[in-house]
Amino acid sequence: MPAKENFNKISEMLTSELSAAAGIKSKQTRTSVCAAITSTKEKLKLYKQVPPNGLVLFCGVVEVGDGKSEKKITIDLEPFKPINTFSYRCQNTFETAPLSALLEDDEKFGFVVVDGNGVLYATLQGNTKEVLQRMQVQLPKKHGRGGQSALRFARIREEKRHNYVRKVCELATQHFITDDKPNVKGIIMAGSA
């Protein structure tokens, strides 16, 4: 989805939340929620598109110093690793669990999903998945035709399957080995046996 459409949907959602917040009975809570939503909408206007790793916005009122005075804050962060979750919370604490998850030391794993129709190469690191390549293939099926040519058809079928498996291995080496060393913690193979 294009980044501008993401911002438009989020802006529409915040407008909807702003109108819903008008129905909050407590005047202090209603004022705080409306101010936070308005500040968030204004902060989003500063961005022309979603940054490559995503965007984190915190907006609210925090106690300052002696605990008797409050200050409104709006914090925008561009994470150092991609963040793939969308969360909107209206509560008395900031939700920082998705940011904490980025700090975990997570290894990168390679995936090879192969069957008679094609192969998929991908990596997974934490909650970030990346498709490296997809390749489709048309392998000949077994059939009852041929008579004396049945052995020739079988030989051609086996040769094409062998070439396909060799190509799958070559591409796996290309994607998951760099300078004679693996660039992933492990490789997971999947597909029809």
Same domain for 118 and 69: no
pLDDT value at position 112? 95
Same domain for 125 and 80: no
Distance CA 109, CA 123 (A): 6
Distance CA 20, CA 17 (A): 5
Distance CA 59, CA 72 (A): 8
Element (H, E) at 92: none
CA distances to 103, 150, 178 from 97, rounded to whole Å, are: 10, 62, 34
Same domain for 124 and 88: no
> Is the pLDDT at 5 greater than 70, yes or no?
no
Same domain for 140 and 65: no
Cβ atoms of 18 and 34 within 8 Å: the answer is yes
What is the CATH classification number for the domain harbouring 134?
3.30.420.60
Ranges assigned E (strand) in the chain: 56-64, 69-77, 108-115, 118-125, 128-136, 177-178, 181-182, 186-190
pLDDT in tens, 103-145: 776 788 999 999 989 999 999 887 788 999 999 999 888 776 6
pLDDT in tens, 151-193: 888 888 899 999 999 999 999 999 999 999 999 988 999 987 6
Same domain for 121 and 70: no
pTM: 0.54
Q: Which residue, of 82, 103, 124, is where some domain finishes? A: 103
Q: Total domain count for the chain?
A: 2
Cβ atoms of 39 and 59 within 8 Å: the answer is yes
CA distances to 141, 146, 157, 159 from 149, rounded to whole Å, are: 15, 5, 12, 15
Same domain for 95 and 22: yes
Q: Domain limits at 154?
A: 108-190
What is the CATH classification number for the domain harbouring 74?
3.30.960.10
Same domain for 161 and 85: no
pLDDT in tens, 31-85: 888 888 888 888 888 888 888 888 888 888 777 777 677 888 888 888 888 887 7
